[in-house]
């Protein structure tokens, strides 16, 4: 299966609302891309991003919230 590159140079990133003020242990998510949700480490904004299918990301977020995990 061939992979395709998604251009994230103009993506608008938002930091998790559960991030602490010092920038530790944070993720950023880019909204507004059709069918995918890019996620990156906020401490390394020029590093790689993981790109998930939107439905899979939604399922993950719901599962974390339903589990009542800290920071969810």
Pairs from 8-11 (Cβ < 8 Å, separation ≥ 24): 8/38, 8/49, 11/38
* DSSP annotation of 47: S
| pTM passes above 0.85 | no
pLDDT in tens, 27-41: 899 988 989 999 999
How is the chain split into domains, by residue range? 25-67
pLDDT in tens, 4-31: 788 898 899 998 776 666 656 688 999 8
């Amino acid at each position: 299966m061939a992979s395709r590159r998604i251009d994230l140079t103009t993506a608008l990133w938002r930091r998790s609302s559960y991030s602490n003020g010092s920038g530790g242990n944070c993720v950023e998510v880019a909204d507004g891309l059709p069918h995918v949700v890019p996620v990156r480490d906020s401490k390394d904004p020029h590093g790689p991003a993981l790109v998930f299918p939107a439905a899979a990301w939604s399922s993950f977020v719901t599962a974390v919230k339903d589990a009542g995990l800290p920071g969810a």
